[in-house]
Amino acid sequence: MKKAILPYFFVGPHLILFIVFILLPTIYGIYASFTQWNLMNEPNWVGLNNYKTILFNTESTFHVQFWNGLKNTLLFVLFSVPLLIVIPLLAAVALHHKRVKGKGVMQAILYVPGLISISAAALIWLLIFNKQLGITGNIFNSAVAWATTQPYAWIIIIVITVWGGLGGNLIIYRASLAGVAQDLYEAADIDGAGPFRKFFSITLPSINFPLIYTFVMTTAGAFNVFGQPLMMTDGGPQQSTHVLMMYIRSLAFGHGESIAGMASAMAVLLGVVILIISALQYYVMSRNAR
Amino acid sequence: MKKHVIQALILCVTLMTVLSACSGGSSKKTITFWTPLTGEDGAYMDQLVKDFNATNPEFKVKHVITADMYTKISTVLSTGKDVPDLAIIHADRVPGFVKQNNLEPMTAIMAQQPELKEENYIPQAWNTGNIDGVQYTVPLDIHSHTMYYNKDLLAKYGVEHWLDDNNVTVEEMLELQGKMEEGQYVVNDALLGWGMMGQIQNLNGDIQVDGKPAVDTEVFRKAYTEVKKLNDAGLMTPFGEDGFLMFQAGNVIFSTDGTWTSTAHAAVEGLNFGVTNIFSVSPDKFTNRSSSHLFAMLKNDKRTDEKEAGIGVFLEFLRENSMEWAKAGQIVASKHVIESPEYKNYMQSFFTSSEEQTKSLYIYTYEHYPYIAEAVDVYSNDIVRGNVDMDETLATMQKFVEDKIAENSGAQ
């Protein structure tokens, strides 16, 4: 009997936290997406109206906001995810080399930016890119107002994202590289394989699962982007970096009374997009890995 | 095994203690007071609360700074738990809260504290909390859009006379077209949306007609057209540049920001500056678009009559002793404070120095004002900079507001 109950004590706390803080809010969020709700009164059930408006009513502000937000979010994913995979991978491989000294310090330097709050980091980077005070203006003589001119607005968003985000994946890659058997490389050396051949034929296949994991998780994280465009460009110029999470937040918790039902519907649709893309990524990558 | 059970129990008790501590809840003799005053403002309010508590009142005040206060208010109101006894809300939130029946009238408190009355406050700050004859709030301040000027630059360009009638017009500013040194400008674009809302009043217009939002109108078109002239003439700081910083660096004659930024400007060494009204598109009228911090009681069944009386004592204390709040750069709402000689030392006393000045502080009270302000904030810069078609954008703004109102009215 004791043995039957004991495992639940270990799983229990996490399960309770998961139900209270994730499952129930998710279910309520989905319910809210079928309502008109201002967060104060009881939600008013409207069925699929919010979804119809967002997806098909081309006249509606919410339709325009959703598609513009989704387009900008997809652009952010396309720009940031490859860099957040490739740069940490290259850094990890470089740090894995025998002759590199001070690996711990280098890793710490790359990891620490991820611990800094996005607001503080954005202030620093905005000063760096400031036309009058910043390095870009004074040393590189850039005459551009970065935050309000495309494609520079995207560039500063991606720079701060990669700067803050590469440490997490780097540590995963370093841990996985440590697990790759050395005799494979020795055998390759005997066969006369060069560094590129070893990287593509030994390193990459050996860390297949960490790669799939980081790819899926980084993509899902990138879809939820919010802080970087809010702080760096405030969605500008002309809402060209206004991502979906910013619209969702301003609808639910912005000016005046909340429009939480519509915001929830947008959030559910974003969740569906993330789910489909993550599943596709996982399917394609794990099939190729076999 | 026994040891593990004891450890597990200790963990559970600790967790329960921490979680119950998180839930907080106000004690019977404490007034829980929520404000959205982050940064320096919060420190000034902390001092005021400390001063009040030092008088050993029956009910002491516990000041809780809540960064995301309106979200938290909606949460506690919908659950009915941990509703604060007193809160500071912004003027534009009053109509919405009252419509939702979320505010307790101040009637009982005003009966107990006879000095808490309209005559003792700046009228528009008091009246913004009055809906259909019922007083729901007591004001702390007015925080207004403000135009700072660089005295040295005004003299350099020989335009000090612009300040003579306290109304710097767009027409006057245009006199400097082609006369500015490279890298110097007449005005920046800080808080441009606030400025546009002021211009609507200067043109004797409004943001609503018969309760319906009115954004795509001739008044808005005229206001944007006039302000855009400053940009087109090269007199406004370039789009995307930090005009606030450029003013502090001594390269801009006028900075259109808020009363609260006077402290930041004062900290800049060598910046010789003064304050006046926001520039106007009309020679006959000037308006400083304003908001107000208001004390309000959210509906809470657990608030006893005794505690409500304690809140009254606190508000009366602040009416007489809120000079500290002037240090934050705010226009204190209490006449007791603003009529005292000490208040004249503060720059913002300019805005209550005459009846005409006081009238220039305009607070919008239209029910759907927050949605209009949001649309104006989002689109103003692009219109004034000529990045978008004005007519199309005004139509988009009108639709933006109407869609939000329609969606919101379905949630009532």
Domains and CATH numbers, chain B: 27-140+292-363 (3.40.190.10), 145-290+368-409 (3.40.190.10)
**Interchain pair A147, B240: CB under 8 A:** yes
Nearest-CB residue to B412 (from A41, A236, A237): A41
ipTM score over 0.90, yes or no: no
Q: Which of B100, B387, B404 sits opposite A40 (nearest CB)?
A: B100
Residue A1 has pLDDT above 70, yes or no: no
What local confidence, expressed as pLDDT, does residue B22 receive?
44
Chain mean pLDDT for chain A: 91
For residue A236, is pLDDT > 60?
A: yes
Nearest by CB: A39 against B78, B245, B373: B78
Spatial separation of the C-alpha atoms in residues A137 and B241, rounded to whole Å: 12
Count A/B contacts: CB-CB distance under 8 Å. Answer: 97
User: Which site among B403, B409, B412 would you substitute to test the A interface, given the most A Cβ atoms closer than 10 Å to its Cβ?
Assistant: B403
Q: What is the DSSP letter of B238?
A: P
Element (H, E) at A76: helix A61-96
> Which residue, among A24, A51, A136, A257, would best test binding to B if mutated, counting the most B CBs under 10 Å from its CB?
A257
Residue carrying the six token digits 């005040």: B61
Spell out which residues of chain B touch residue A145, defining contact as CB-CB under 8 Å: 238-241
Q: Give the whole-angstrom CA distance, residue B225 versus residue A146.
A: 27
Across the interface, of B92, B241, B410, the residue whose CB is closest to A145 is: B241
Using alpha carbons, list the distances in angstroms from residue A165 to A90, A169, A274, A277, B382. 14, 8, 19, 20, 32
Tell me which residues of chain B, numbers 350 to 369, contact chain A at a CB-CB cutoff of 8 Å. 368-369
- pLDDT at position B3 is 53
Alpha helix ranges (H) inside B350-389? 355-359, 369-384
Residue A243 Cα, gap to closest chain B Cα (Å) = 14
Nearest neighbour of B411 by CB, restricted to A146, A254, A261: A261
At A255, the pLDDT band (50, 70, 90 cuts) reads confident
Is B247's Cβ below 8 Å from some Cβ in A?
Answer: no
Contact B388 A255 (CB under 8 A): no
Give, in order, the Cα–Cα distances in Å from B155 to each of B149, B169, B237, B268: 11, 17, 20, 19
Beta pairing, strands B208-209 & B212-213: antiparallel
Among A8, A130, A255, the residue to mutate for chain B (most B Cβ within 10 A)? A255
A46 contacts B374? CB cut-off 8 A: no
* Predicted local confidence at residue B228, as pLDDT: 97
- pLDDT of amino acid B26: 52
Residue boundaries of the structural domains of chain A: 20-289
Q: What confidence score (pLDDT) does residue B100 get?
A: 86
Q: Distance between CA atoms of A64 and A56, rounded to whole angstroms? A: 10
CA atoms of A33 and A201, how far apart (whole Å):
48
Per-residue confidence of chain B (412 residues) as pLDDT tens digits?
455 545 554 544 444 444 444 444 456 789 999 999 988 889 999 999 999 999 999 999 999 998 889 989 988 988 888 899 999 999 999 998 998 899 999 999 999 999 999 999 999 999 999 999 999 999 999 999 999 999 999 999 999 999 999 999 999 999 999 999 999 999 999 999 999 999 999 999 999 999 999 999 999 999 999 999 999 999 999 998 889 999 999 999 999 999 989 889 999 999 999 999 999 999 999 999 999 999 999 999 889 999 999 999 999 999 999 898 998 889 999 999 999 999 999 999 999 999 999 999 999 989 899 999 999 999 999 999 999 999 999 999 999 999 999 998 876 6
Residues 6+ apart with CB under 8 A from B141: B125, B292, B293, B325, B330, B331, B332, B333
Helix residue ranges per DSSP H, B169-241: 170-174, 192-202, 218-232
* B16-25 CB contacts, 8 Å cutoff, 24+ apart: B23/B81, B23/B82, B24/B82, B25/B81, B25/B82
**pLDDT, position B2:** 52
Quick check: bond before A151 cis, omega within 30?
yes
Q: What is the rounded CA–CA span in Å between residue A40 and residue A259?
A: 11
CB-nearest to A257 from B96, B240, B242 is: B96
CATH of domain A20-289: 1.10.3720.10
**Residue of chain A whose Cα is closest to the Cα of B68:** A253
Write out the two tokens for B325: 């709040």
Contact A61 B239 (CB under 8 A): no
* pLDDT confidence of residue B20: 45
pLDDT digits (tens, 9 = 90+) for A50-65: 999 999 999 999 999 9
What residue type is assigned to position B199 of the chain? Q
3-state secondary structure of B30: strand
Q: What is the mean pLDDT of residues A147-173?
A: 94
Contacts of B368 in chain A (CB under 8 A): 256
Q: Residue A31: pLDDT band by 50, 70, 90 thresholds? A: very high
Q: Write down the residue that tokens 């930090």 correspond to.
A: B242
Put simply, whether the predicted model's pTM sits higher than 0.80 gets the answer yes
Asked whether A79 and A158 are in contact (CB, 8 A), the reply is yes
Nearest CA in chain B to A43: B411
Half-sphere exposure of B374 (CA within 13 A, CB side): 24
Question: Does A3 score more than 80 pLDDT?
Answer: no
The residue behind tokens 């305009």 is B362
- Is residue B35 within 8 A of residue B64, CB to CB? The reply is yes
